[in-house]
Amino acid sequence: MSTRKPLVAGNWKMNLNHLEAIALVQKIAFSLPEKYYAKVDVAVIPPFTDIRSVQTLVDGDKLLLTYGAQDVSQHASGAYTGEVSGAMLAKLGCTYAVVGHSERREYHAETDEVVAKKVRAALKNDLTPILCVGEPLDVREAGTHIEHTTGQLLAALKGLKTEQVADIVVAYEPVWAIGTGRVATPADAEEVCAALRGALTDKYGAEVGDGVRVLYGGSVKSGNIADLVACENVDGALVGGASLDGDEFTKLCAMAAGGPLP
Ligand SMILES: O=C(CO)COP(=O)(O)O
Protein backbone atom coordinates (compact mmCIF):
# COMPACT_ATOMS: atom_id res chain seq x y z
CA MET A 1 0.00 0.00 0.00
CA SER A 2 1.39 3.37 -0.95
CA THR A 3 1.16 6.66 0.92
CA ARG A 4 -1.12 8.12 -1.76
CA LYS A 5 -4.74 8.32 -0.60
CA PRO A 6 -6.82 5.88 -2.64
CA LEU A 7 -9.62 7.15 -4.85
CA VAL A 8 -12.67 5.07 -5.69
CA ALA A 9 -14.71 6.57 -8.52
CA GLY A 10 -17.98 5.02 -9.65
CA ASN A 11 -18.45 5.42 -13.39
CA TRP A 12 -22.18 4.92 -13.89
CA LYS A 13 -21.84 5.02 -17.68
CA MET A 14 -25.26 5.45 -19.38
CA ASN A 15 -27.30 4.27 -16.40
CA LEU A 16 -29.69 5.90 -13.89
CA ASN A 17 -31.88 8.96 -14.42
CA HIS A 18 -31.65 11.97 -12.10
CA LEU A 19 -34.17 10.57 -9.62
CA GLU A 20 -32.33 7.27 -9.43
CA ALA A 21 -29.10 9.24 -9.04
CA ILE A 22 -30.48 11.01 -5.97
CA ALA A 23 -31.53 7.70 -4.45
CA LEU A 24 -28.11 6.12 -5.04
CA VAL A 25 -26.12 9.06 -3.67
CA GLN A 26 -28.37 9.16 -0.60
CA LYS A 27 -27.81 5.46 -0.09
CA ILE A 28 -24.01 5.83 -0.31
CA ALA A 29 -24.05 8.84 2.02
CA PHE A 30 -26.19 6.98 4.56
CA SER A 31 -24.23 3.72 4.40
CA LEU A 32 -20.60 4.86 4.44
CA PRO A 33 -19.68 6.34 7.85
CA GLU A 34 -17.80 9.64 7.63
CA LYS A 35 -14.63 8.26 9.21
CA TYR A 36 -13.90 6.22 6.05
CA TYR A 37 -13.40 9.39 4.05
CA ALA A 38 -10.19 10.03 5.94
CA LYS A 39 -8.76 6.96 4.24
CA VAL A 40 -10.42 6.97 0.83
CA ASP A 41 -11.69 9.62 -1.57
CA VAL A 42 -15.06 8.61 -3.00
CA ALA A 43 -16.51 10.00 -6.21
CA VAL A 44 -19.50 9.29 -8.41
CA ILE A 45 -19.38 9.91 -12.14
CA PRO A 46 -23.01 10.08 -13.31
CA PRO A 47 -24.41 10.93 -16.76
CA PHE A 48 -24.55 14.67 -17.54
CA THR A 49 -28.31 14.80 -16.93
CA ASP A 50 -27.85 13.75 -13.29
CA ILE A 51 -25.07 16.11 -12.30
CA ARG A 52 -27.21 19.06 -11.21
CA SER A 53 -29.27 16.81 -8.93
CA VAL A 54 -26.11 15.31 -7.43
CA GLN A 55 -24.70 18.80 -6.89
CA THR A 56 -27.82 19.93 -5.05
CA LEU A 57 -27.70 16.91 -2.78
CA VAL A 58 -23.95 17.08 -2.08
CA ASP A 59 -24.09 20.83 -1.36
CA GLY A 60 -27.35 20.72 0.59
CA ASP A 61 -26.37 17.82 2.85
CA LYS A 62 -22.64 18.73 2.96
CA LEU A 63 -21.70 15.25 1.77
CA LEU A 64 -18.06 14.25 1.72
CA LEU A 65 -18.21 12.49 -1.62
CA THR A 66 -17.27 14.31 -4.78
CA TYR A 67 -18.48 13.89 -8.34
CA GLY A 68 -17.50 14.37 -11.92
CA ALA A 69 -18.48 13.90 -15.55
CA GLN A 70 -17.86 11.01 -17.91
CA ASP A 71 -16.54 13.21 -20.69
CA VAL A 72 -15.74 16.84 -21.49
CA SER A 73 -15.71 18.67 -24.78
CA GLN A 74 -12.36 19.55 -26.31
CA HIS A 75 -13.94 22.92 -27.27
CA ALA A 76 -14.54 25.90 -24.99
CA SER A 77 -17.96 26.97 -26.40
CA GLY A 78 -19.84 27.49 -29.63
CA ALA A 79 -21.56 25.53 -32.38
CA TYR A 80 -20.82 22.00 -31.16
CA THR A 81 -24.23 20.38 -30.88
CA GLY A 82 -24.44 17.82 -28.10
CA GLU A 83 -21.17 18.78 -26.44
CA VAL A 84 -20.71 19.88 -22.82
CA SER A 85 -17.87 22.23 -21.94
CA GLY A 86 -15.42 22.11 -19.07
CA ALA A 87 -16.66 25.50 -17.86
CA MET A 88 -20.21 24.15 -17.62
CA LEU A 89 -19.01 21.17 -15.60
CA ALA A 90 -16.92 23.37 -13.32
CA LYS A 91 -19.99 25.52 -12.66
CA LEU A 92 -21.81 22.37 -11.57
CA GLY A 93 -19.14 21.76 -8.95
CA CYS A 94 -17.54 18.79 -10.68
CA THR A 95 -14.17 17.72 -9.32
CA TYR A 96 -13.33 15.24 -12.08
CA ALA A 97 -13.80 14.66 -15.78
CA VAL A 98 -13.15 11.19 -17.16
CA VAL A 99 -11.21 11.48 -20.39
CA GLY A 100 -10.34 8.86 -22.98
CA HIS A 101 -12.44 6.01 -21.63
CA SER A 102 -12.04 2.99 -23.91
CA GLU A 103 -15.77 3.12 -24.72
CA ARG A 104 -15.32 6.65 -26.07
CA ARG A 105 -12.17 5.69 -27.92
CA GLU A 106 -13.94 2.67 -29.45
CA TYR A 107 -17.52 3.87 -30.10
CA HIS A 108 -16.82 7.56 -30.67
CA ALA A 109 -13.51 7.26 -32.48
CA GLU A 110 -11.60 9.36 -29.96
CA THR A 111 -7.94 9.45 -30.93
CA ASP A 112 -4.98 10.19 -28.69
CA GLU A 113 -5.02 13.74 -30.14
CA VAL A 114 -8.65 14.30 -29.14
CA VAL A 115 -7.98 12.82 -25.71
CA ALA A 116 -5.03 15.20 -25.28
CA LYS A 117 -7.27 18.18 -26.12
CA LYS A 118 -9.86 16.99 -23.60
CA VAL A 119 -7.20 16.68 -20.88
CA ARG A 120 -6.30 20.31 -21.54
CA ALA A 121 -9.94 21.40 -21.56
CA ALA A 122 -10.43 19.77 -18.17
CA LEU A 123 -7.30 21.27 -16.62
CA LYS A 124 -8.11 24.70 -17.98
CA ASN A 125 -11.33 24.61 -15.97
CA ASP A 126 -9.76 23.23 -12.79
CA LEU A 127 -11.27 19.81 -13.32
CA THR A 128 -9.06 16.84 -12.52
CA PRO A 129 -8.92 14.63 -15.59
CA ILE A 130 -9.22 10.92 -14.90
CA LEU A 131 -7.23 9.87 -17.94
CA CYS A 132 -8.05 6.32 -19.03
CA VAL A 133 -5.61 4.09 -20.85
CA GLY A 134 -5.74 0.37 -21.51
CA GLU A 135 -5.00 -2.30 -24.05
CA PRO A 136 -7.43 -4.48 -25.99
CA LEU A 137 -7.12 -8.27 -25.80
CA ASP A 138 -5.02 -8.70 -28.95
CA VAL A 139 -2.41 -6.28 -27.61
CA ARG A 140 -2.33 -8.10 -24.28
CA GLU A 141 -1.90 -11.42 -26.07
CA ALA A 142 0.90 -9.98 -28.19
CA GLY A 143 2.63 -8.90 -24.96
CA THR A 144 2.94 -5.23 -25.95
CA HIS A 145 0.54 -3.84 -23.31
CA ILE A 146 3.22 -1.77 -21.57
CA GLU A 147 4.25 0.03 -24.76
CA HIS A 148 0.59 0.48 -25.70
CA THR A 149 -0.53 1.99 -22.38
CA THR A 150 2.52 4.16 -21.74
CA GLY A 151 2.21 5.39 -25.34
CA GLN A 152 -1.43 6.38 -24.75
CA LEU A 153 -0.45 8.11 -21.51
CA LEU A 154 2.39 10.19 -22.93
CA ALA A 155 0.39 11.08 -26.06
CA ALA A 156 -2.44 12.43 -23.93
CA LEU A 157 -0.06 14.57 -21.88
CA LYS A 158 1.96 15.94 -24.78
CA GLY A 159 2.89 19.59 -24.33
CA LEU A 160 1.60 19.90 -20.75
CA LYS A 161 3.70 21.55 -18.08
CA THR A 162 5.01 19.42 -15.22
CA GLU A 163 2.71 21.14 -12.71
CA GLN A 164 -0.30 20.35 -14.90
CA VAL A 165 0.64 16.68 -15.09
CA ALA A 166 0.89 16.64 -11.29
CA ASP A 167 -2.86 17.41 -11.16
CA ILE A 168 -4.13 14.42 -13.12
CA VAL A 169 -5.38 10.98 -12.16
CA VAL A 170 -4.56 8.04 -14.42
CA ALA A 171 -6.82 4.99 -14.75
CA TYR A 172 -5.49 1.76 -16.20
CA GLU A 173 -8.45 -0.10 -17.65
CA PRO A 174 -7.58 -3.16 -19.73
CA VAL A 175 -10.35 -3.37 -22.31
CA TRP A 176 -10.61 -7.14 -21.91
CA ALA A 177 -11.48 -6.74 -18.22
CA ILE A 178 -14.26 -4.13 -18.60
CA GLY A 179 -17.72 -5.49 -17.92
CA THR A 180 -16.51 -9.03 -18.59
CA GLY A 181 -16.11 -10.28 -15.04
CA ARG A 182 -12.55 -11.09 -16.04
CA VAL A 183 -10.58 -8.98 -13.58
CA ALA A 184 -6.86 -8.50 -14.10
CA THR A 185 -4.85 -10.19 -11.38
CA PRO A 186 -3.28 -7.82 -8.84
CA ALA A 187 0.08 -8.68 -10.45
CA ASP A 188 -1.25 -7.70 -13.92
CA ALA A 189 -2.62 -4.42 -12.54
CA GLU A 190 0.55 -3.67 -10.60
CA GLU A 191 2.78 -4.36 -13.60
CA VAL A 192 1.03 -1.78 -15.78
CA CYS A 193 0.32 0.78 -13.04
CA ALA A 194 4.01 0.67 -12.04
CA ALA A 195 5.05 1.11 -15.68
CA LEU A 196 2.70 4.08 -16.09
CA ARG A 197 4.14 5.68 -12.95
CA GLY A 198 7.64 4.94 -14.22
CA ALA A 199 6.85 6.72 -17.49
CA LEU A 200 5.61 9.76 -15.53
CA THR A 201 8.74 9.75 -13.37
CA ASP A 202 11.03 9.49 -16.39
CA LYS A 203 9.38 12.36 -18.19
CA TYR A 204 8.21 14.67 -15.40
CA GLY A 205 10.38 13.76 -12.40
CA ALA A 206 9.98 11.81 -9.17
CA GLU A 207 7.66 14.30 -7.49
CA VAL A 208 5.05 13.89 -10.22
CA GLY A 209 5.63 10.14 -10.54
CA ASP A 210 5.25 9.62 -6.79
CA GLY A 211 2.28 11.93 -6.41
CA VAL A 212 -0.06 11.05 -9.28
CA ARG A 213 -2.73 8.51 -8.42
CA VAL A 214 -2.96 5.55 -10.77
CA LEU A 215 -6.24 3.66 -10.52
CA TYR A 216 -7.17 0.25 -11.85
CA GLY A 217 -10.52 -0.38 -13.57
CA GLY A 218 -12.17 -3.50 -14.95
CA SER A 219 -14.59 -5.78 -13.07
CA VAL A 220 -13.65 -4.34 -9.66
CA LYS A 221 -15.92 -5.51 -6.84
CA SER A 222 -15.97 -5.39 -3.04
CA GLY A 223 -14.40 -8.86 -3.05
CA ASN A 224 -11.30 -8.00 -5.09
CA ILE A 225 -10.58 -4.32 -4.31
CA ALA A 226 -8.47 -5.05 -1.20
CA ASP A 227 -5.94 -7.15 -3.10
CA LEU A 228 -5.74 -4.52 -5.84
CA VAL A 229 -5.12 -1.53 -3.55
CA ALA A 230 -2.61 -3.59 -1.58
CA CYS A 231 -0.34 -3.25 -4.63
CA GLU A 232 2.28 -0.53 -4.26
CA ASN A 233 1.28 1.30 -7.43
CA VAL A 234 -2.51 0.85 -7.48
CA ASP A 235 -4.14 3.85 -5.81
CA GLY A 236 -7.79 2.94 -6.07
CA ALA A 237 -10.30 2.02 -8.73
CA LEU A 238 -12.56 3.25 -11.47
CA VAL A 239 -15.61 1.07 -10.98
CA GLY A 240 -18.36 0.42 -13.52
CA GLY A 241 -21.06 -2.17 -12.82
CA ALA A 242 -20.42 -2.46 -9.07
CA SER A 243 -20.92 1.29 -8.62
CA LEU A 244 -24.62 1.05 -9.54
CA ASP A 245 -25.50 -0.92 -6.41
CA GLY A 246 -25.37 1.25 -3.28
CA ASP A 247 -24.62 -1.60 -0.85
CA GLU A 248 -21.93 -3.11 -3.05
CA PHE A 249 -20.29 0.25 -3.82
CA THR A 250 -20.27 1.25 -0.17
CA LYS A 251 -18.67 -2.06 0.80
CA LEU A 252 -16.11 -1.58 -1.96
CA CYS A 253 -15.22 1.91 -0.71
CA ALA A 254 -14.87 0.63 2.84
CA MET A 255 -12.55 -2.16 1.69
CA ALA A 256 -10.45 0.37 -0.24
CA ALA A 257 -10.18 2.34 3.03
CA GLY A 258 -8.64 -0.68 4.69
CA GLY A 259 -11.49 -2.41 6.43
CA PRO A 260 -15.01 -3.76 6.17
CA LEU A 261 -18.07 -1.81 7.26
CA PRO A 262 -18.93 -2.13 10.94
O1 LIG B 1 -15.08 0.77 -17.50
C2 LIG B 1 -15.05 0.64 -16.29
C3 LIG B 1 -15.03 1.82 -15.41
O4 LIG B 1 -14.78 2.97 -16.13
C5 LIG B 1 -15.08 -0.70 -15.66
O6 LIG B 1 -16.34 -1.24 -15.80
P7 LIG B 1 -16.73 -2.57 -14.96
O8 LIG B 1 -16.37 -2.31 -13.54
O9 LIG B 1 -18.21 -2.72 -15.19
O10 LIG B 1 -15.91 -3.69 -15.55
Per-residue model confidence as pLDDT tens for the chain (262 residues): 467 999 999 999 999 999 999 999 999 999 999 999 999 999 999 999 999 999 999 999 999 999 999 999 999 999 999 999 999 999 999 999 999 999 999 999 999 999 999 999 999 999 999 999 999 999 999 999 999 999 999 999 999 999 999 999 999 999 999 988 888 899 999 999 999 999 999 999 999 999 999 999 999 999 999 999 999 999 999 999 999 999 999 999 999 999 888 8
Q: Which pLDDT does position 1 carry in this prediction?
A: 45
What is the residue extent of each domain of the chain?
7-235
Nearest ligand 1 atom, CA 243: 8
Does any ligand 1 atom lie closer than 6 A to the CB of residue 228?
A: no
Does any ligand 1 atom lie closer than 6 A to the CB of residue 134?
A: no
Q: Identify the residue whose C-alpha is closest to ligand 1 atom 3.
A: 240
ipTM: 0.99
Q: Which pLDDT does position 2 carry in this prediction?
A: 63
Does any ligand 1 atom lie closer than 6 A to the CB of residue 215?
A: no
Which residues are annotated as part of the binding site for substrate?
11-13, 179, 219, 240-241
Q: Which pLDDT does position 180 carry in this prediction?
A: 87
Catalytic positions, please? 101, 173
Question: 7-235: what CATH class?
Answer: alpha beta
Does any ligand 1 atom lie closer than 6 A to the CB of residue 68?
A: no
Using H for helix, E for strand and C for coil, what is the string for the chain? CCCCCCEEEEECCCCCCHHHHHHHHHHHHHHCCHHHHHCCEEEEECCHHHHHHHHHHHHHCCCCCEEEECCCCCCCCCCCCCCCCHHHHHHCCCCEEEECCHHHHHHCCCCHHHHHHHHHHHHHCCCEEEEEECCCHHHHHHCCHHHHHHHHHHHHHCCCCHHHHCCCEEEECCHHHCCCCCCCCHHHHHHHHHHHHHHHHHHHCHHHHHHCEEEEECCCCCCCHHHHHCCCCCCEEEECHHHHCHHHHHHHHHHHCCCCCC
CA of 33 to the centre of ligand 1 (A): 25
